[in-house]
Amino acid sequence: MPDQLPNSQTPAPAGAAALSSGSSAKPLQFQQLQSCANTSARLGRVTTPHGSFDTPAFMPVGTQGTVKGILPDQLRAAGAQILLANTYHLMLRPGSAVIAQLGDLHRVMAWEGPILTDSGGFQVFSLADLNRITDSGVIFKSHIDGSMVTLDAAKSMAVQNELGADIIMAFDQCPSADAPPEMHRTAVDRTIRWAEECLQSHQRPREQALFGIVQGGTDAQLRAECAAKLVAMDFDGYAMGGLAVGEGFDAMQRMLAEGVGHLPSDKPRYLMGVGYPRDIAMAVASGIDMFDCVLPTRNGRNGHAFTADGPVRLRNSVHQRETGPIEAGCDCYACRNYSRGALRHFFFAGEMLGPILVSVHNIRFYQRLMADIRRVIGDGQFETFLREDPRCRLGSGVPMAGEETIAAADTVDD
């Protein structure tokens, strides 16, 4: 059995009991426990029917119902409290009806804690061979068998209702950062229309929280309009979508600084597909509570490890005889039991243990970062942490500690 590390995960029965004992029939409760005096960072807790998770939170990505190569016990030991799965992929294979017959996504993933599923919209617009898009939805060619598939707001809800995640996302349109203004305008109009249709089609509103997604590219006024209309619909939580899609760090920071204030303070805020530690730290300062990204596991499978001193490429020859761990002081299973030299050997020998161990380390790196962020918010030291902790400067295109730049991970799929 993997060694268990302490974390503040609330077991599933406690979360279910907390919800059932309340007067509200809402499937999600958010508590803001503390806030930073001079930034918008906040410490909180989200309670769902399958337990609670502490915020700010990072969700490891289990695209097809599994975080690649990682056992649920290892995820818990690394500190993960909530996982993400992908509606697009699970809809195509094995199908949401199959997942439901197997007992829902929690049973399939062997994960008793909270799960979030995205709507499938981002993958449709970034992965699929689109045949047609209208105000009603999209028709695309399956990347698995070439069949034509229709996805709209009602179907996204039906699929997510069958999957059974605790938090589900409204269907939206996510254009690329360099799309023309008229495309962003159309995407916002469709996102708002589809959000209304998702609310009408949602068949399990007492069991599954539904989040609306704010679009608008880098147009602050368009984002404000989208947010206002979604907030008027009274979703259980809200996400900032359409960021980290090529607009750059400064533009993302500006959109968050100007946009998060349009979202209600009594509900969780989720920045989708982000990201690098620098991005997360900045977004926490802007008031974001939830994050997800494939970086820890995708980079881990390619021998790229995160450390506070910068990225480490374990395939490099400098590590061949190195006896130290990936990161001194890290309490993950990989760092407590394996040397850099051993890990390098596993990669060159084609042994699956190498990618597994580096993925475990990277997930733990992210979970330690989030735990430290929560601690310093609680201690009133977040601004100092943001200014002084080297992890808060670790981003795309930022080489550190003499190593190569961390490889940018495509956040479409993992």
Catalytic residue set: 118, 292
- Spatial separation of the C-alpha atoms in residues 408 and 403, rounded to whole Å: 14
- Spatial separation of the C-alpha atoms in residues 95 and 116, rounded to whole Å: 17
- Spatial separation of the C-alpha atoms in residues 343 and 349, rounded to whole Å: 10
Minimal CA–CA distance to 45: which of 90, 73, 7? 7
Using only C-alpha atoms, the chain has a radius of gyration, in whole angstroms, of: 20
What residues pair up with 59 in beta bridges, in sequence order?
A: 292
- Spatial separation of the C-alpha atoms in residues 381 and 412, rounded to whole Å: 34
User: What is the bridge-based pairing of β-strands 51-55 and 42-48?
Assistant: antiparallel
Q: Tokens 């956040």 belong to which residue?
A: 411
* 352 CB-contact burial (10 Å; exposed 0-12 / middle 13-18 / buried 19+): exposed
* 288 CB-contact burial (10 Å; exposed 0-12 / middle 13-18 / buried 19+): buried
- CA angle, corner 231, sides to 230 and 235, nearest 5? 85
What residues pair up with 31 in beta bridges, in sequence order?
A: 45
Joined tokens for residue 21: 């004992």
